[in-house]
Amino acid sequence: MSMIRNQAPKRYTAHVRSIDKATQTVAEHLQEVAVIAKTLAAKINVAEAGELIGLLHDLGKYKYIHIK
């Protein structure tokens, strides 16, 4: 029988600034891009679609959770 391991949430890094080595997590990056995409998409009356696209655009940076 497969079970999901109980683990603390992992923080996946999206970007590291070269100037000060500050990191931005994938979650933070996706949320910030979603706000920008929603604002831009609102100009053509598709704000919700823009927000969704912003949330999903880098989702592949998350690693798969291994189930045993």
pLDDT tens digits, 7-38: 555 677 888 888 899 888 888 888 999 999 99
Tell whether 28 is covered by a domain: yes
- What total of structural domains would you count in the chain? 1
| Predicted pLDDT of residue 68 | 40
Tell whether 68 is covered by a domain: no
Tell whether 50 is covered by a domain: yes
Tell whether 4 is covered by a domain: no
Domain range for 26 is 13-61
Residue 25 φ/ψ, nearest 5 degrees:
-75, 160
Residue 2 φ/ψ, nearest 5 degrees:
-85, 145
Tell whether 7 is covered by a domain: no
Tell whether 40 is covered by a domain: yes
| Predicted pLDDT of residue 64 | 46
Q: What is the CA radius of gyration of the chain?
A: 16
Tell whether 1 is covered by a domain: no
